[in-house]
Structure 1
Amino acid sequence: MEENNIVDDCGWKPKVGMPFDSKQAAYDFYNTYGGNVGFSIRKAYANKNKHTKEITSRTFVCYKEGSWGIDKRDPLVKNPRQEVRCGCGARFSIKLGRISRKYIACDFVEHHNHDLVPQDCIHMLPSQRKISTTQAIEVELASESGIPLRSAYELFARESGGRVSLGFTKLDQKNCLRSKRQKDLEYGEAVIFGTALMYDETAESFTWLFQIFLEAMSNKAPKTIFTDQDTAMAKAIPIVMPDTNHRLCTWHLMQNAVKHVSSVFDDVGVKAVFLKFMHDIDDDEEFRIQWDQMLDKYDAFDNHWLEQTFRDYLNCDHNLMEFFMHFERVLYEKRYKELEAEYNLSQKIAEGFNSNFDVKASGRDL
C-alpha cells in the first residue's frame, strides 16, 4: 500500500529514544503524527507495576490493528458495526524510565498495510475528533435556543472556517447532547428532552413514541411518568416501560377540572372540592366513598369532561435571496456527503484483500 511521503527528520515523526513527560503527551504526539499522515490511533497494550499500579509501558496502535471477533448481535441491527480492522501492524510504544521517570519511545513501526486517509478526510478520523468544553457549552446553548442540530453544526463550521477545521462531526454533536441529557436525567434536573407532533393520539402511536424516547435515553426507563388524563398514553406506558410508575399530574388534573366542570361546583369552586382528593385522602376505600358522596351531592354522576383539540401549523416560505442561500447550503451538504462517502469507502476492507482473514473477522461468509 502507498503511504504519504514522510520526511525522516521532521519534528512530528516518532523516533525511538524520544522522551515524554506523561502517557498523555506521548498519545497526543502520536495522534498528531497520525493526523499528519492519514490514520487514526487507539490505545492498546499496557503493563502496570503490581504494587504501585503505575503504568510502566504502553503501546499505541493504528485503529485498523487486529481483527474483530464474531459479531453476535442481531443481523438486522439498524447500525451494524463497520469492519475496519485489517491486522495493521503500525504501532508506537513507550516505556517508563526508572531514573528519569519519563516515558521513552522504545518501538516504532511505521508501515501500514492499508491505504491512508486523504487530507480532506483527516478530520473524520475517530482519534482526530474531539468536542472541547467550550464547544460543548455552545452546542448545549444552541439546542436550548431552539436551533436545529443541522443548523447549529453549519453555524459552528462557518465560525471555524469550515467543517475540516471544526474538529467534530454532526454525530459527535448529537452524542454530546445525548450524553448531557442522560446526565440531566440521572441527576434529576428539570429539562426538556424533546417534543413530538402526533398525527393521531392512539395507543399505537404513543407506543412508538415511548420506544423512540427509550432509544434516545440508551434504554434507561424513568422511574415515574406523570401525564395528563390520556387513556392512550395509559395503555402505551406499561407496554414499553412495564417497570415505570404511571401517575397523573395534579396540575393538569386541576386545570382540566377548572375548564370542564366549573359550572358543577359554582357555589364552592372546583379547587375547594378537588384539593381534598388530591392531597388529603390517602386510603383507597375512603377515597372511593368520599368521591361517590361528592358526585351524589353535586349531581355529577353523568358529567363527562370534553376532550380538547389542539391545532398546530407550520408555515415556511423563502424569498428569492433566502432560496439561493438555502440552495448553496444544500449543494455544500451534497458535496460534503460525497466526501464522507469517500472516507467511509476508504475504511472498508478491500474485497479479496485476504479471504481467510475476512471470514475470521466477520464471522460469516463473504
Structure 2
Amino acid sequence: MDVVVAETNADSTEPSVKEPYVSLVFESVDEAYWFYNSYALNVGFGIKKGSTSKSFSSGDVIARRFECNKSGLKTSKVGEGSSTRAHRLTRVNCKAKLDIRKNKDDKWVVTGFIKEHNHELDTPRKAKRHRSHNILHKDKEVKKLMDQLYSAGMGPAKIARILNETNCNSSISANQVSVHLSEHRKNNIENEGASVFAYLKKQQELDPNFYFDIELDSNLVLRSFFWADSRSRNDFLTFGDVVVFDVTYKTNKFMMPFAPFTGVNHHRQSILFGCALLADETEETFHWLFHQWLKCMFDTAPKVIITDMDGAMYNAIKRVFPQTRHRFCSWHIGKHLVEHVLEIRDSNGDFKKDYYEWFNSKDVNTSEQRWKVFIQKYSIQNNSWLLKMWDRREHWVPAYLKDYFVVGMTSSGRSESINAFFDGFVNSKTQLLEFITQYEKALHSRHQAEEREDFNTMNSVANLFTSYALERFAAEFYTKNMFKHFQQEFKQSLECWYEEINTIGTITTFRVGLSCEDSINWSTVIYDDDNTKVICECAKFETDGFLCKHILHIMIAKKHLQSIPNLYLLKRWSISARNKSNTEISVVSSDIVTPMMKWKLTNTQTNIFNLAITSKEAYDLVMSTLTGLLENVRDSFNYSEPASIASQVGSTTIYPSSVGISIRDPLLVKTKGRPKIASRIESGIEISQSQGKRRTCGTCGGKGHYSTTCPQKDKVISKTVYKFFSFG
C-alpha cells in the first residue's frame, strides 16, 4: 500500500522545498541531485544514484536516475546453509525516483518523477541519518574546524562529539575524523564550588525541569552535589522500574566518588537517571543522596534497585526506599564468596557440584532443604559471613528473586559501563566543572545511541527464522535489539518437547524442555485456556519481561497461537515505549551561544584581521566599522562590563551578592581503602576479562603451586574462580 507524502512535518526544521515535476530544468547533474536530495530530506527519505545511459557516439552520460535508497530488493540467504551473519533488510523495492536527461542545450530536464513510496517516511530530523543527508563532515568549514581541533591535540572521538554537540542535527562519527585523542583543559583554579553552583544554576535557567541540590557543611564547605536534567527525569518515568546504583571512584581533583543512577531503555541500552559526586560513603551521605533523588523523580521510588553489599548503602536504602526490592550485585557476591569459601572448596572435591545444586534450586522450599544439607556437610555453621549472607538470601539467591522484574540484570555492570566512558577523559587533576561537562557528553552519547537504534528499528525489517505468524508478530512489536533476545528463545522453543501432566477444568499442566536434556531438568508450565494466562517455573517473563522457550513451545506446538497475548507484551520493549510528550522536551535554550557559533565568530574575526593588515586604507576601514559596530551592540543589548563571577579570599569562594552565600571548595575525600593513585575501581566484567586463564593454581593462575599455598591468595581472584561463582 502506497504511503501518502505529507505536505509538512511537525518537527521539521528545514525550509519548504518545491516538489519536482516533469520538464523541470537544471543546469547540471549536481544541481539536480542536490535539488532532489533537499526534497527528500524535507519529505523524509534518503536517495541514491541509480542507473545511467550513455551516448553511443560520444560515450558521455546523457541520462541519469536518482531513486529512493529503499529501492530494489536484497535476497535473504538465511536458512539456505549460508554462514553469513544475518543483517536486517533496508530495501523494500520502493519505486520513488527522479529521471533526468540532457537536452540539446546541455541542460538537464526531468523526464520522469514518481512521488509515492511503499514504506513509511521519516521526519526530517530522523531523515538526516540517511547517508545522502549525513554529509556535514564533507563541508569545507567543518573540515577546517577538524584541522584546528587536531592541531590542538584532540582525537577522533572527541572531535566527533564536539561537532555533534554544536549541531544537534548532525551525526559525525569518529571514523570520519582521523586524529589522535587529546584535550586542552579549561582553567578554573581555586573556584570549584562557586563554578559548580553557577553552572548548575545556569542549566536550571535553560531547562526549567533541570534538578540539582548541593550539600554544604556548617562551614559552607561543599560536600556533595546531585543533578539530573529533564530528559533523565522523563526517562525514569518510562524506564525507571529497575535502577542500578553503584559508587565507582573517578579521578577528580578532590577524589570524590562518582555515583550514577542507571537504567535500561527499550533497546536494552544503558540510560542515566542522574548522578552525584559525594563527600564520603557514610549512611547519612547515602541517605541525603537517595532523598534528593526521590524528590527529583517526583517522589516515585523504583520497584527494584541493584547495588553492591555496602552496609551503609543497604541501611540508607531501607530508610528511603522501604517498598523497593533490593538486589545485591551478583559479581560482588561472587567476589566475596570466593574469599570466604576458597579453603573449603579446595579441600572438598564435591563442593562445586553441591554448591551449584543448591544455588540453582528452582523454588524456595528446595533451596532451604538443600541449604540445611549443605551447611552440615561442609560445617558452614562456623562461617559467620556465609550465615550472614544466608540471612539476606532474598537479596541474592535466585530462588527468592523469581517474583519481580529486573530487566534481565543481575549485576551493577550497567553503571560500571557508564563509568568506563570517562576513561581517558579525566585524571587526578580534573576539576569538578569539567567532570560535569564530561558527564553531559556521556549523557548526550546515550541519547544519540538511542536515536540510532530507533532509526535502525524503524528503517529495517527483521530476518525471520521461520514462517510462524507468532515470530512475525514479535518482530513487528519489539525493537531490533529486543527482538534478537526474543528470537533466541523462539529458536530454542522449536527444539523443545513437552508432555502433558494433567488437566483440571481449563487449566493444563505441562513439562517442557529441550529434547537433548534430561527431563528431570524440564520446567513446569501451567496454562489456563479460559483467560490465556500461563506461568513457567523458570520465571523468565517475570524477571526479563519476555516469554521463555517453554511457554513459546506450548503456544506454538499445542495452542497454535498466531500472536502473543497482550498480557505478555511489555510496552517498555517496543518502539512506542516512549511517550512523546515526555521525551520531546528541549534541554537547551535557543538563546544559547554554541561552541560552533563561537568558532565561526572567531574565524570571521581572523579573516577580518588578515584583510585589515594588508594596507593602511584597509586598516582604517576595518577599525571605523568595528568601532561603530561595537557601539551599536552595546546600545542594543544594554551591555556593561560584568562583575566578577567569583573572587578568592583565603580558601573561601566568595559568590556574587545575588547568590547570598559563599561556597568553599570541598575537602579531599578520604575513601574506604582507595589507593592514593588510581583511576577507579574496576568493574567485575573488567576484572574477569583482564585476568589470565587458570593453569595450575586456582587463585592466581600461576604454575608450581596450589591455591592453599598461593602467595597472592588474599589479593587475586582468577577469571576461572570468578566464573565458578558467577550468579547471573
Report the TM-score, using the length of structure 2 for normalisation: 0.27
Aligned to 2:74: 68
Aligned to 1:37: 43
Find the aligned partners of 1:342 and 1:111 in 2 and give their Cα distance: 24
Structure 1, residues 142-178: CA drift from partner, whole Å, max 9, x if none?
A: 335331322212222344xx230x4x521xx514539
Find the aligned partners of 2:110 and 2:425 in 1 and give their Cα distance: 61
Aligned to 2:145: 138
1:340 aligned counterpart, secondary structure = helix
Find the aligned partners of 1:151 and 1:19 in 2 and give their Cα distance: 43
Find the aligned partners of 2:64 and 2:48 in 1 and give their Cα distance: 11
Aligned to 1:97: 103
Alignment of 1:210-359 (within 5 A): 316-317=427-428, 318-349=430-461
Aligned to 1:229: none
Find the aligned partners of 1:175 and 1:37 in 2 and give their Cα distance: 27
Structure 1, residues 168-194: CA drift from partner, whole Å, max 9, x if none?
A: 521xx514539xxxxxxxxxxxxx999
Structure 1, residues 1-26: CA drift from partner, whole Å, max 9, x if none?
A: 5444127xx75211111001111111
Tell me the CA shift for residue 138 of structure 1. 2.9
1:14 equivalent in alignment to 2:17? no
Aligned to 2:160: 153
Tell me the CA shift for residue 320 of structure 1. 3.1
Find the aligned partners of 2:26 and 2:146 in 1 and give their Cα distance: 34
Aligned to 2:120: 115
Aligned to 1:50: 56
Structure 1, residues 28-66: CA drift from partner, whole Å, max 9, x if none?
A: 110000110111101111111012122111111001100
Find the aligned partners of 2:448 and 2:39 in 1 and give their Cα distance: 25
Q: Which amino acid aligns with 2:61?
A: I
Find the aligned partners of 1:49 and 1:327 in 2 and give their Cα distance: 58
- Structure 1 vs Structure 2: percent identity of aligned residues? 20
2:109 aligned counterpart, secondary structure = strand
Report the TM-score, using the length of structure 1 for normalisation: 0.51
Find the aligned partners of 1:71 and 1:193 in 2 and give their Cα distance: 40
Q: Is the 8 A contact 1:17 1:104 kept in 2?
A: yes
More helix by share: 1
Aligned to 1:174: 175
Q: Is the 8 A contact 2:51 2:65 kept in 1?
A: yes
Tell me the CA shift for residue 96 of structure 1. 1.5
Find the aligned partners of 1:314 and 1:345 in 2 and give their Cα distance: 32
Tell me the CA shift for residue 118 of structure 1. 2.4
Q: Which amino acid aligns with 1:145?
A: A
Change (3 A) 1:28 1:118: same
Find the aligned partners of 1:89 and 1:24 in 2 and give their Cα distance: 22
Find the aligned partners of 1:49 and 1:135 in 2 and give their Cα distance: 38
Find the aligned partners of 2:77 and 2:176 in 1 and give their Cα distance: 23
Change (3 A) 1:82 1:133: farther
Instruction: Give the stretch that moved more between structures: 324-333 or 110-119.
Output: 324-333
Q: Is the 8 A contact 1:42 1:61 kept in 2?
A: yes
2:440 aligned counterpart, secondary structure = helix
RMSD: 3.4
The answer to which structure, 1 or 2, has the higher relative contact order (CA under 8 A, 6+ apart) is 1
Aligned to 1:163: 168
Q: Is the 8 A contact 1:40 1:127 kept in 2?
A: yes
Change (3 A) 1:148 1:44: same
Find the aligned partners of 1:329 and 1:151 in 2 and give their Cα distance: 10
Change (3 A) 1:87 1:320: same
Find the aligned partners of 1:319 and 1:49 in 2 and give their Cα distance: 66
Aligned to 1:270: none
Q: Is the 8 A contact 1:140 1:177 kept in 2?
A: no
Q: Is the 8 A contact 1:124 1:169 kept in 2?
A: no
Tell me the CA shift for residue 101 of structure 1. 2.4
1:43 aligned counterpart, secondary structure = strand
1:126 aligned counterpart, secondary structure = coil
Find the aligned partners of 1:114 and 1:140 in 2 and give their Cα distance: 40
Change (3 A) 1:152 1:88: same
Instruction: Give the stretch that moved more between structures: 313-322 or 110-119.
Output: 313-322
Q: What is the count of residue pairs matched by the alignment?
A: 212
Q: Which blocks of at least 5 consecutive residues in structure 1 are unaligned?
A: 179-191, 195-312, 356-365
Find the aligned partners of 2:425 and 2:30 in 1 and give their Cα distance: 50
Change (3 A) 1:145 1:69: farther
Q: Which amino acid aligns with 2:32?
A: A
Change (3 A) 1:332 1:34: same
Find the aligned partners of 1:114 and 1:346 in 2 and give their Cα distance: 10
Find the aligned partners of 1:65 and 1:141 in 2 and give their Cα distance: 40
Find the aligned partners of 1:63 and 1:314 in 2 and give their Cα distance: 38
Q: Is the 8 A contact 1:157 1:163 kept in 2?
A: yes
